[in-house]
Chain A
Amino acid sequence: MDKKDKEFLKRIQETFRIEAEEHLHAFSAGLIELEKTPSKEKVAEIIEVMFREIHSLKGAARSVDQKDIEYVCQPLESIFSSLKRGEITLSPLSFDLFYKTVEWLSKHIVISGSEQTDVFRQTRQELINRLKEMVSGKYFSTLIQEPSATDIEIPCLPQSDITPVTEPGVDLQGNIANTQVVMARIPMSKLDPLLFQAEEMIQAKMAINQQTGELKRLSDELNEWKTETQKWRSRKAAATPELWNELCDNSDMRLNKVEGRITEIISSMERHQHSLDRLVNDHLDAMKQVLMLPVGSLVETFPGMVRKISHEQNKEIDFIISGTELEIDKRILEELKDPLIHLIRNSIDHGIGKPQERILKNKPVRGNITLAFAAKESGQVEITLADDGKGIDKEHILKAAIKSGIISNEYAGKLEPKEVLNLIYQSGVSTSSIITDISGHGLGLSIVQEKVLKLNGKISVESEENAGTTFRILLPMTLATFRGILVMLQEFMFILPTTNVERVMKVEKEDIKTVENHETIRIDDQIISVADLGEVLGLPEHKHAGQGKMEPGSANSNQIRIVVLVSGEDRIAFKVDDLVDEQQVLVKGLGKLLRRVRNISGATILGSGKVVPVLNIPDLMKSAVKTKERKSEVSAGVLFVPKPGKILVAEDSITSRTLIKNILETAGYQVTTSVDGADAFTKARTGDFDIIVSDVDMPKMNGFELTAKIRSDKKLNEIPVVLVTALESREDCEHGIEVGADAYIIKSSFDQTNLLEIIKKLI
C-alpha cells in the first residue's frame, strides 16, 4: 500500500469512526430509554429506532471492510428485528449483554484487521455466540444457570477510568488515537445566528475606522490652528486694535468649528457604542447557546459502568437516568463528570448491599439507583442521585472524624445528625469501613464538594439507615458572565467574584468583638468571623484595613468597610479599605509561568488597561482560617514598632518608585510618593516630612530644580534632600551640591544599606 492509499484509508476510517460513534450514541440513548420501562407504544418506537441505528452501523462497517464490527452487528440486528416482531421480549438481564456489546463496539470501531490479538478474537466470538443464543431464545436459561462461566471478560476499560465514546483511548493502536478529535453535535439553528452576528461585526469595524479618521482630521485642524496662533504671536509687537479683533474672530470661528465636529463625533460614537453593546451581548448569548449540550452526552457511559462494577461485586442493580434531554453548558458538564462518577461508584460500592444482605433486610433483591436531572426556576439544575441502600453509618463517620483529628471527642457529642453527615466532605473521613479499589479512601467526597463549589453550586446529602442515601447538587445551567466587585487594599486593587459576595457594609469599629484572639461580628443574629483581607493575602502591613481613606477629623474614621464572602457553607467577613465598583469582568489566566497562585484565580484588564488580580474565594477562606491559627499561635509580644521618620520620594519611573518605597517601608519609615518635581514640591509644602529622596531626571521639574526650590522656600529650606540619579558625571554631582542637596547617590552604585545609612545620618 503506498502512502496515498494509506492516507485515504486513514481518512475513510476516521469518517467511519465518527459515523459509527453517532449510531452507537443513538443506540445507547435508546437503551437508557428502554430501561425506564416506558409505555408499550413508546417501546415499539424506541426499538424501531435502535434497529435502524444498528442496521446502518452494520452497513457502514461493511462498506469500509470492518468485518469484526459487521459480524457483531449482525446478530444484534437480528435480535432487534425479533423484538420488533414481538418474538422475544426484553428482560433486565438482556440489557447487560447489550451494554457489553456497545462497549465492545465503541472500543473497536477503530481497529483494522492486522492489530487483532487472540483475546480480541476470542471475546468477539463469545459476544457473537451469546447474541446468537439470545436470538434463538436460549439465552435466559443458560445465563441464569451459569452466569460466571459464560461471563465475557472484556479486555478494555480499567475500572478507574471510564472512557467515553467520544474520546476513545485506544492504546491498541496509538497512532490513530492521536489523530482523533473530540466532536460535539450542534444543531444548525444554533449556528445561523452566529454567522449573522459575525457579519454584523464588519459594520462595527468599519464604524471604528471611520471614527478614527474623523479624530485624525480633527487633530490636523487643531494643529493648523496652533500654527496660526504662532504666527499671530510673532506679530504681537505690531498689534493694533484691528489685528486684535481679527485674531479674536478667527479664534471664535475655529473654536466653533472644532466644537461642532466634536459634538458630531460624540453622537456618532454613542450610536455605535449602543449597537456594539447589543451586538456583543447577542453574540455572547448565542455562543452560550452553542455550548449548551444535552445531559445525555454526559451520562451515556454511566449505565455500562454501573453494570460492570455491580457485576464485579455480585450485586444486582437497576440504574435509571431521567432528564437526559436537559441542556447544560458544556463546560459545566465536563466538570460534572468526575464527581458524578465518583458518587455513583460510592452508591454501588457501599450503598447497595449484596442480594443476600438485602433479602435479610426485607428489601427487593435488585438495588435501585436513580440519577435525575431537573430544571429549577432561576436557571438552575438540580441533580439528584438516590439509592435504596444501607444509608450512611453516622456512628462510623463520627469515629473516623475523631480518629483523623477533625473534631474533638466532646464536640462530637454535640453534633446534630445533619452536621454529622456534613463531615463526609472532610478528607480523611470515609463512608466505607473497607477500603476497596474503587472507594473508601476518604478523599473522594471532599474533591466532589470542591468541584461543585468551584461551579458555584451546592451539594447536600440526606441519608437514613437501611433506607438509602440521596445526594442533591444544585448548579447553574450556564456559566454566568463573570461579574466582580473591585476593592482597594492600600494602593492595590483586587476583584472579588460577585457570586461569592453576600453583602457589603459599613460597620462601627466597636461592633467587631474579639473573643480569644478571634475577631467576630454579629450580622442578622449570626456570628461571623472577621478577617483582614490584606493580612490574609500577605500584603505589607502598614495600616489596618477597613478604615477607608482616613480623613482627619472625619466622623467616619470609626467605621470599617467589610465584605461578607460565602463559599459553600462558609461565611467570613473581610475588612477592605474601599469598594470601587461592580462590573462585568473577563477573567484571564496568569500565563504559563504562574500555573497556580494561592488565593488568586486569574486577572482581568480594566478599561484603563490596568491589570487587576481576581481572588479565588475557596482558597481565600482556607487562607483566612490559616492566618487566624497562626495569629493565635504567635504571642502578642512581637509588635512592629516603626522608626520615626516621614519620607517624601520623588521619582518618575514607577518601578524605581516602588522599589525605593519598599526598601524604605521595610526599614520602618512612612513613605509618600510623588511622580515628578512639581508634584513633590506641592506635597512637601502641604505635608510634614523629615527628608526628601528625589530622582534627578524627571519631567516638569527635575531634581536640581526641586532642590533649589526647596532651599529657597521659607518653610522647607531645612529639610535634607538626597538626590538619586543615573547621571554619573562629576559636574552633575557638583551641580547637585551647588543647588543644596545633602547627599548624592548614583544609581549604579546604589545599594540599600547605603541609602538607609545616609537617611539615618541626615534625619
Chain B
Amino acid sequence: MNEMKKEIRIKLKNRAIAMALEPVQKRTTSATIGVIAFTLAAETYAIESVFVREVYPLKDFTPLPGVPSYIFGIINVRGQILPVVDLKKFFNLPEKGLGDLNRVIILYDDQMEFGILADVVHGTQDIELEDILTVPPTVTGIGEEYLKGVTKERLIVLNAKRLLSDKSIVVNEEAN
C-alpha cells in the first residue's frame, strides 16, 4: 500500500515539475547570438557572450595617473592585473547619471583582454540576428563602427570584436 502511495506521489511531483516549466518557444529559422545584457548609466547594452570571459564584482580598484580618462583603473582578478575601461568616457557619452558601477565585464579574444564597467548585469539571452537593426549614430551617441545595432526592445548591441581590436583604445605612451 505504502509503495503505491509513494509511486503516486512521485508521478504527481514529476507532472508538477513538467507543468511548471516554461513552454519552449518555437525557434524561427533565423540565426541567433548569445549576449550579456547590462546597464550602464541608465542605458541598457548587450555584448556578445563569446567575448566575455567572466563578470567580476568591482570591490576595489586602483586609478592610474597620466592615462586617458577612459581608463578607469586597474583591478586584481585572482592575481592577474586587468585594466578597466569606462565605455561612457571612451564613447564620449554625456554623463547622464551616476550608476552603481559595481560590476566589471571582462572581454577577451586571443589578442586583447580588458574589463568594461557596468552598473547592473542582467544575465544572458539569445537575440535573433534578424532583430538587430542598424541605426544612425545620433540615436545612441556611439560611433557606428562600435555597434552591431539596436533591437526592437532598444537593447544597444555593442560590437565586441571591434572594441577588442580597436587600436585607439590601446595606451602606448612614450616617455615624454
- Residues of A at the B interface (CB closer than 8 Å) are 492, 537-539, 588-600, 603, 605, 609-613, 616, 618-619, 622-623, 626, 653-656, 658-660, 724, 726, 747-752
Contact = CB atoms under 8 A, between A and B. Distances in A.
Given A611-B74, A751-B95, A653 B102 contact: yes
Given A590-B81, A591-B82, A598-B66, A603 B97 contact: no
B74 A603 contact: yes
A4 B102 CA distance: 55
Contacts, number: 136
Interface string B97-113: 11111100000000111
Nearest to A660: B98
A747 B74 contact: no
B174 A596 contact: yes
Given A660-B98, A747-B98, A591 B74 contact: yes
A588 B81 contact: yes
| Residue in B63, B65, B101 whose Cβ sees the most chain A Cβ within 10 Å | B65
A591 B75 CA distance: 10
B101 A619 contact: no
26 contacts: A492-B62, A492-B65, A591-B82, A591-B113, A591-B114, A592-B113, A592-B170, A593-B71, A593-B83, A594-B64, A596-B174, A597-B66, A598-B176, A599-B65, A600-B66, A609-B76, A611-B60, A611-B61, A611-B62, A611-B76, A613-B62, A616-B175, A618-B175, A724-B98, A748-B96, A750-B98
Contact of A656 (B67, B100, B169, B175): B100
Interface in B71-99: 71, 74-76, 79-83, 85, 94-99
A752 B96 CA distance: 9
B97 A750 contact: yes
Contacts of B59: 654
A182 to B, nearest CB: 22
B98 A537 contact: no
A699 to B, nearest CB: 14
Contacts of B176: 598, 619, 622-623, 626
A537 B74 contact: no
Nearest to A596: B172
A98 to B, nearest CB: 44
A748 B61 contact: no
Given A605-B76, A747-B97, A600 B172 contact: no
Interface of B: 42, 58-67, 71, 74-76, 79-83, 85, 94-102, 111-114, 117, 169-176
| Residue in A539, A589, A593, A659 whose Cβ sees the most chain B Cβ within 10 Å | A593
Contact of A593 (B58, B76, B85, B96): B85
Nearest to B39: A748
Chain B at the A interface: SS class: loop
A204 to B, nearest CB: 17
Contact of A537 (B66, B79, B117, B173): B66
Contacts of A750: 97-98
A730 to B, nearest CB: 19
| Residue in A611, A612, A616 whose Cβ sees the most chain B Cβ within 10 Å | A611
Contact of A590 (B74, B85, B100): B74
A611 B71 contact: no
B106 to A, nearest CB: 11
A610 B62 contact: yes
A597 B62 CA distance: 14
A595 B172 contact: yes
A613 B65 CA distance: 9
Nearest to A745: B98
* 7 pairs of A and B residues whose beta carbons are closest in the complex: A655-B101, A537-B65, A595-B172, A611-B62, A750-B98, A619-B175, A593-B114
B74 A598 contact: no
A606 to B, nearest CB: 9
B101 A653 contact: yes
Contact of B100 (A592, A622, A726, A752): A726
Given A610-B60, A619-B175, A619-B176, 18 more contacts: A492-B62, A590-B81, A591-B83, A592-B112, A592-B113, A592-B114, A594-B74, A596-B172, A597-B64, A603-B74, A603-B81, A605-B79, A609-B60, A613-B64, A653-B101, A655-B117, A656-B101, A748-B96
Contacts of B62: 492, 603, 610-613
A750 to B, nearest CB: 4
A592 B67 CA distance: 15
Nearest to A613: B64
Given A492-B63, A626-B176, A752-B95, A605 B101 contact: no
B170 to A, nearest CB: 6
| Residue in B80, B99, B174, B175 whose Cβ sees the most chain A Cβ within 10 Å | B175
Nearest to A603: B81
Contacts of A610: 60, 62, 76
A592 B83 CA distance: 9
Nearest to B98: A750
Nearest to A591: B83
Contacts of B111: 592
A130 B85 CA distance: 65
A600 B64 contact: yes
Contacts of A612: 62
B50 to A, nearest CB: 18
Contacts of B170: 592-595
A659 B62 CA distance: 13
A597 B97 contact: no
A245 to B, nearest CB: 46
B96 A751 contact: yes
A616 B174 CA distance: 12
B157 to A, nearest CB: 22
Contacts of B94: 751
A147 B63 CA distance: 66
Contacts of B96: 748, 751
B89 to A, nearest CB: 11
A659 B33 CA distance: 35
Contacts of B100: 653, 655-656, 726, 747
Contacts of B95: 751-752
Nearest to B111: A592
Contacts of B98: 656, 659-660, 724, 747, 750
Contacts of A618: 175
Given A610-B60, A619-B175, A599 B66 contact: yes
Given A590-B74, A610-B62, A654-B59, A748 B81 contact: no
A653 B99 CA distance: 10
B58 A655 contact: yes
Contacts of A611: 60-62, 74-76, 81
A492 B114 CA distance: 22
Given A656-B98, A656-B101, A747-B99, A622 B175 contact: yes
A591 B58 CA distance: 17
A747 B79 CA distance: 33
